[in-house]
Structure formats: C-alpha cells, structure tokens
Amino acid sequence: MNAISLQNVSHTYGSDTAQVHALHQLNFSAQSGTLNLVLGPSGSGKTTFLTIAGGLLTPTTGGVTIAGQNYTTLSKKQQDALRLSSIGFVLQAYHLLPYLKVKEQFKLVSQVKKTGNLSAAKLAEVLDMLEITDLLNKYPSELSGGQQQRVAIARALYPNPAIILADEPTAALDSQKVKVVGQLLADLAHQHDKAVIVVTHDPRLIEFADQIYDITDGVLTHKDTVQA
Amino acid sequence: MFLALKEIKKEKLRSGAIITMIVLICYLIFILTSLSLGLARQNTAAIKSWHVQRFALNSNANTDMRQSFLNDDQLGQLTKNEAVLGQGSVVAKAAGKEKLSAVFVGLKSNQFIAKNLQLTSGHPVRHAHEIVVDDSFQDKGYHLGSHLRLNDQKQRYTIVGFTKNAKLNIAPIVYGQLSTWKTMRGFEHGPSASAIVSKKASYRAQTAGITTYSTKQIINKLPGYQAQNTTFILMIAFLMVISLIIIAVFLYILTMQKMPNYAVLRAQGIPSKVLVGATISQSVLLVIFGLAIGSLLTAGTAFAMPAAVPMAFDVPMLAAVGLGLVLMALLGSLVPVRSVLRVDPISVIGG
C-alpha cells in the first residue's frame, strides 16, 4: 500500500521573468516497509520535493496523497493533525526544545496528540534501539550532537507515524556513523513497517535503500529497485 | 502552560531578569498608587466624612469654600438635612510646641455635621473656646486639655476631643463653633458662614447670589487636587506602558531565539495555538510572579512606612492595578505571538 504518493506535481517559485521551475511533472510513491532514497545535488529540487511530500508546501499543480487522504484539499488544522499523526521528520538541524528534558520532548507530543502514540513499552524499545534510554532526564545541552540526533529521531517516531521523511540525515557524518544511521533508517522501514523517504546527496546510503531515485533540475527519475 | 513553566524553570537567569524588572515596576506602581490615594484621601477625608451631596457657595467664590462668604439672608431657611459651616486657614500654636498649619471649620452644634462627628476620644464642642482636632495633633504632642492659640488671637482654645479623617487639602482640621469662626474672621456683623452643605442630592439653594455644586465639583476645585491626581495618573500610565514595552521586547527576543525550534514543531504538526498559548502563558506567568513579589514588597513597605507618610494601601485598588499589569502582559505578548503565527516550518528544511 502506498503510504504517500505525489501525482504530476510541478512547482514554480516567483513569477514572470523571475520564475524558477523547481519540480516538473513529478510522480512518486512510497510503500510501507521500504526505504526510498532520493539522490540529487544541491539545487536539484530535493528540498522542494521534501517540503511538498511533507505537506509543508502546496505544489503549483498536481496532487499529494498522504495516508490515503488528498492532502491539498485539507484545512490547515486537518493538515497539522495529519502531519502529526502520519509524518515524522528527521531533519539536519535537530532543534530540540532546549528547556525540555528528553522525556519531556515526548510529553509535549502526547499533550497535543493524546492517542495513537507509541506505548510506554514500544517507546522503551525505540529508546533502547537508539541507545538513549539513559538520557531521559538530560537536557539537550547536556547531549552530544549524535545523541541529540537520535533523540530527534525518537521524537519523530513517538507519534507512531506511517511515514518518515529524512532530510540529509548523514550530512557531516563520518563513514562509520553513516552506517549506523543508514542501518537505523533501514530498520525503521523493515522492522517497524514505515515508509522511509531519505533526501540526500550522500551515495553512501545507497546500500541501505530499497528504492533509489535521482532528482536533477526538478525531474525525478526512478533509478533502481534493490531486491531483498 | 507546560512549555511556559518548563522554560521559566530551566532558564532561571533570563526569567529572573524579566521578573526582577517586573517586580521593580510593580513595586513602583503600587507605591505611587498608594501615595496618590493617600494624598487624595488627605485632600478629601473631611468632606467625605460629612457625607454631604451638595455645597452651596457664594456665586463669586469660584467654587472655593475659602473665598465664599454667605450672609444671614442668603442662608435662608434650612431643613435638618442642611448644615452651615465656616472655613478658614489658621496657624495653631502653643508654648513649647511646633506651630501647625490647619483649617478651622466652624459648625453649629445642633446641625448634623457637628452631631455626627466621630470622636476617637474626648467630647464634642460645647462652648466657644473649645475645639475638636484631627488625630494628627497628637503626633505633635497635643492631648486632651491642651491649650493653643489660633493665628494672632489672644484667646486660648482647649482641645476637648480628637477625631480621625479630619483633613482638608492635606491640612488637619480644627473643629469649633461657627461663632468662633466669625470672631476669628472679625465677622461679628458680617457674613454668617462660608457654605451650606446638604445631605440631599436634590438640594438647590434658592436665595440670590448662591450657586449649588456637587461634592465632586467642590473636591475637583480643591487647590492642587486635580494637578496632583493628573500627575500621578500620568506617572502610573507611563509605568504601565513601560511594563508593556519591557514584556514585549523581552518576550520578542526570547521568542525569536526559539523560532527554529518552533519551526521544527510546526513541521511535525504541533498546532500554532500550542506555541501561541505557550508564549501568552509565559508572559502572564512572568507578570504574576513579578506581581506576587511586588505585592510582598508593598505589604512590607506598608508595614514599615511611618504614619506621617500620606500613603493609603487599598487592596481592591492595588488589585485593579495588578490586573492592569496582567492586561499589559497580554498585550505585550501579542508582539511575539505575531512572529509565532508566521513561523515557517520550511525554514528548517534543506539545511
């Protein structure tokens, strides 16, 4: 089943002579239980693709379906609710709230989305998998960059979203850590049945991907399907 | 509220700095309000203690009792709801004691003001050379039976009673008989009183040359009264505006620092109302903490303040001022709220 799909999506910034066509007639879908890698250089349209797939930007033309709902026809409030329940963002910049302890980062989510979050046991499992169980009572300022990233991933997983959108998750990581993050994303897809979409320029993640796409000048091309 | 409380708890130094500013402003506003109220009461305490609704003065007196003189014909026929009084400035002096500037108010013993005068000690005036004075005379060493002279008169007057709230235009009042006022002013064959006062709002003087005023009109015409009140109101209003600016600026800076964090939360679907609620709660909580500490300081000041300082700590009025500060906090938080509503989640995507 498609967790997310983009149909004939085009997006243009600016108007008249200052127009920039960021995406052209793009079609994309991601199924649950797969890790989808979208590779492209800077300026290729990766960020526009991610913001449209994540429901943060409405495409100039085309449709976006998230968890079976036509996202572009929803109200702002419904879009917020759908993002909270269905999409987990793993961003380059973690931006954990500095005045909340790790455990309170989850509490904030549970105050807004009161049902459907990970159970205490499931959360403990995720924390264990991410090796951050011992950090629950620490503030972000007491954590290393890597630990903050893993807390941000756990926060993204806590609402139990069907889709994980990762933005350059391995930027500035050495090869060893790329393997750890790549394996983690693959595990999320395969063991937790998430549709994981990773937008990156880092080819070191290819070995973990199920579907590989290339994006250049706003045109998305399916490159490969890796058989399990 | 959750986010606001957590931030205040974690960022103790920042929150403490804002709360300190608010405490100082609250304290200053409370003290100024109490001083303003205290001075206002000292201007009007006596008039309010008479419980009168109308004053009839000479039409040429410019609404000033000190300048008003009424003769017997102008007084006309009075009912039990009316009384006459004679007012004049005096200097009270007694051997070995400090001279005191005071207001002499001459009354008729059989009329309601003299009859209703609340004494804290002693007895009412019964003879021409007896006086009842404000309690503040006791602070200057006067007591029941003390003798004093008024202005340059040779006649000595005996204090037979003390009364509280006997202040007019900040000066303490010396109550005596109306005949004493006439003698003191040299009016044995001239004017009979300064004013007619009435308990009834419907009272209108019918005789020629007299104009009837409401108590409020008379109070507003007391020398310096309006200028003083306006000055205090302006100071308090400016402090309110300053508190609004401080809250708005501090919160704006704090909020701008959190924008990337808020952008991530918005991207994840945390509704704007949660972030707006956190901003408003933070503002209100900071002001409430500041108000609580400012109130304690004010209570301490009220306890320690010497009686000579004209301050009145009126809880309902201070509560209203406190509420005004909370409203300022709400207004001040609207500036950062505007930024929170405009936070763009896309700004944190794509590095």
Instruction: Report which residue type is found at A135.
Output: L
How far apart (Å, rounded) are the C-alpha atoms in residues A169 and A178? Answer: 9
Tell me how far the alpha carbon of residue B252 is from its chain's centroid: 35
Chain B nearest-CA residue for A159: B268
Domains of chain B, by residue range, sit at 2-43+226-348, 69-193
Q: Are B52 and B215 spatial neighbours (Cβ–Cβ below 8 Å)?
A: yes
Q: Closest Cα partner for B42 from B135, B132, B139, B121? A: B135
Chain B nearest-CA residue for A138: B10
What is the model's pLDDT at position A172? 66
Chain A nearest CA to B10, separation (Å): 5
What is the model's pLDDT at position A195? 94
Interchain contact, A95 vs B348, CB within 8 Å: yes
Chain A nearest CA to B348, separation (Å): 7
- Residue whose tokens read 């009025």: B317
| Cα Rg of chain B (Å, integer) | 29
The overall average pLDDT reported for chain A is 88
Mean pLDDT for B37-47 is 91
What is the model's pLDDT at position B251? 82
How far apart (Å, rounded) are the C-alpha atoms in residues B317 and A193? Answer: 63
Helix A102-112 to helix A145-157 angle (10° resolution) is 20
Tell me the residue ranges of DSSP E strands in chain B: 54-58, 82-93, 100-107, 119-122, 130-134, 147-150, 156-163, 167-168, 171-177, 195-198, 210-214
How far apart (Å, rounded) are the C-alpha atoms in residues B205 and B196? Answer: 8
A61: confidence class by pLDDT, cuts 50, 70, 90: very high
Locate B181 and state its tokens: 């006022």
Chain A nearest-CA residue for B350: A47
Q: Are B257 and B307 spatial neighbours (Cβ–Cβ below 8 Å)?
A: no
Instruction: Report which residue type is found at B18.
Output: I
DSSP state letters, B80-134: TTEEEEEEEEEEEE-TTS--EEEEEEEE-TTSHHHHH--EEEE----STTEEEEE
- Residue of B268, B270, B348 to mutate, interface with A, max A Cβ within 10 Å: B268
Please name the member of B7, B263, B269 whose beta carbon is closest to the beta carbon of A81.
Answer: B269
Chain A nearest CA to B232, separation (Å): 41
State whether the Cα torsion B56-B58-B62-B68 is positive or negative. negative
How far apart (Å, rounded) are the C-alpha atoms in residues A11 and A18? Answer: 14
What is the model's pLDDT at position B194? 94
| Cβ-Cβ contacts under 8 Å, A46 against chain B | 350
How far apart (Å, rounded) are the C-alpha atoms in residues B33 and A65? Answer: 62
- Residue A113 is classified by DSSP as S
Choose the weakest-confidence range: A56-65, A175-184, B223-232.
A175-184
| Cβ-Cβ contacts under 8 Å, B345 against chain A | 56
| Cβ-Cβ contacts under 8 Å, B9 against chain A | 99
Chain A nearest-CA residue for B261: A95
Interchain contact, B346 vs A167, CB within 8 Å: no
A74-104: pLDDT as tens digits: 888 888 888 888 898 888 777 888 999 999 9
Tally helices (H) and strands (E) across chain A.
6, 10
Interchain contact, B270 vs A98, CB within 8 Å: no
| Cβ-Cβ contacts under 8 Å, B274 against chain A | 111-112
Q: How many CA atoms lie within 13 A of A188 on its CB side?
A: 32
- Residue whose tokens read 């201070």: B318
ipTM above 0.85, yes or no: no
Interchain contact, A57 vs B6, CB within 8 Å: no
Q: Closest Cα partner for A92 from B12, B267, B283, B284? A: B267
What is the model's pLDDT at position B77? 84
Q: Are B138 and B80 spatial neighbours (Cβ–Cβ below 8 Å)?
A: no
Count of pairs with CB atoms under 8 A, one residue in A, one in B: 92
Q: Are B99 and B91 spatial neighbours (Cβ–Cβ below 8 Å)?
A: yes
B181-192: pLDDT as tens digits: 998 888 777 788
Chain B nearest CA to A227, separation (Å): 30
Tell me how far the alpha carbon of residue B7 is from its chain's centroid: 39
How far apart (Å, rounded) are the C-alpha atoms in residues A4 and A122? Answer: 24
Please name the member of B265, B346, B348 whose beta carbon is closest to the beta carbon of A57.
Answer: B346
Q: Are B65 and B223 spatial neighbours (Cβ–Cβ below 8 Å)?
A: no
CB neighbourhood size of B119 (10 A): 14
Contacts by B227-235, CB closer than 8 A, 24 or more apart: B228/B36, B228/B39, B228/B40, B228/B43, B229/B36, B229/B40, B232/B32, B232/B33, B232/B35, B232/B36, B232/B39, B233/B36, B235/B32
What are the residues of chain A with a beta carbon less than 8 Å away from any beta carbon of chain B? 46-47, 50-51, 54, 56-57, 77, 79-85, 87-89, 91-100, 104, 107-109, 111-113, 139, 155-156, 159, 167-168, 171
What is the model's pLDDT at position A228? 57
Locate A39 and state its tokens: 């590779």
The residues pairing with B211 across neighbouring beta strands, listed in sequence order, are: B57
Look up the pTM and report it: 0.77
Interchain contact, B2 vs A111, CB within 8 Å: yes
Question: Which domains are delineated in chain A?
Answer: 31-56+74-225 (3.40.50.300)
Interchain contact, B350 vs A112, CB within 8 Å: no
Q: Closest Cα partner for B313 from B103, B33, B4, B6? A: B33
Q: Are B146 and B174 spatial neighbours (Cβ–Cβ below 8 Å)?
A: no
Residue A69 has pLDDT above 80, yes or no: yes
B4-33: pLDDT as tens digits: 999 899 989 989 998 999 999 999 999 999
What is the model's pLDDT at position B350? 62
What is the model's pLDDT at position B186? 82
Residue B351 has pLDDT above 70, yes or no: no
Q: Are A56 and B267 spatial neighbours (Cβ–Cβ below 8 Å)?
A: yes
| Cβ-Cβ contacts under 8 Å, B2 against chain A | 107-108, 111
Interchain contact, A104 vs B351, CB within 8 Å: no
Length of chain B measured in residues: 351
The larger pLDDT score, comparing residue A196 to residue B154, is at: A196
State whether the Cα torsion B63-B64-B70-B75 is positive or negative. positive
Please name the member of B7, B261, B350 whose beta carbon is closest to the beta carbon of A47.
Answer: B350
What are the residues of chain B with a beta carbon less than 8 Å away from any beta carbon of chain A? 2-3, 6-7, 9-11, 258, 260-261, 263-265, 267-271, 274, 345-346, 348-351
The overall average pLDDT reported for chain B is 90
* Percent of chain B's residues with pLDDT above 70: 99
| Cβ-Cβ contacts under 8 Å, B270 against chain A | 80, 84, 108-109, 112
